[in-house]
Chain A
Amino acid sequence: MNTEVIKDMQSRLEKGRVAIAGLGGLGSNLAVMLARAGVGHLFLVDFDRVEESNLNRQQYFLPQVGKYKTDAICEVIQKINPHLTVHTQCITVTAENALPLFREYDVVCEAFDRPEAKAALVNCLLEYSRVKIVSASGMAGLGDMNRVKTTRPLARLYLCGDGTSEEKEGMFSPRVTACAAHQANAVLRILLGLESEKGV
Chain B
Amino acid sequence: MLINGKQVALKEEKTLMDFLHEEGYSLSRIAVERNGRIVPKAEYGRVMLAKEDEIEIVSFVGGG
Which residues of A line the B interface, CB within 8 A? 22, 24-27, 111-116, 118-120, 122-123, 126-127, 135-140, 153-155, 157, 159, 163-169, 171, 176
How many B residues have CB within 8 A of the partner chain? Answer: 19
Q: Inside 8 A of A140's CB, which chain B residues have their CB?
A: 61-63
Contact of A123 among B31, B36, B62 (CB under 8 A): B31
Q: How far is the CB of A48 from chain B (nearest CB, A)?
A: 12
Complex Cα–Cα for A14 and B30 (A) = 34
- Cβ A24 vs Cβ B64 within 8 A: yes
Q: How far is the CB of A20 from chain B (nearest CB, A)?
A: 11
Apart from the given pairs A25-B63, A115-B29, A153-B33, 4 other A-B contacts in the complex at a CB distance below 8 Å: A26-B64, A165-B63, A166-B63, A176-B64
- Cβ A139 vs Cβ B31 within 8 A: no
Interface residues of B in 21-43 (CB under 8 A from A): 26, 28-31, 33, 36, 38, 40-41
- Cβ A111 vs Cβ B64 within 8 A: yes
- Cβ B61 vs Cβ A123 within 8 A: no
- Cβ A115 vs Cβ B31 within 8 A: no
Which residues of B line the A interface, CB within 8 A? 4, 26, 28-31, 33, 36, 38, 40-41, 56, 58-64
- Cβ B61 vs Cβ A25 within 8 A: no
- Cβ B38 vs Cβ A171 within 8 A: no
User: Known: A122-B31, A154-B33, A154-B56. Is A127-B40 also a contact (CB below 8 A)?
Assistant: yes
Q: How far is the CB of B35 from chain A (nearest CB, A)?
A: 12
Contact of A167 among B33, B36, B63 (CB under 8 A): B63
Q: Inside 8 A of A24's CB, which chain B residues have their CB?
A: 64
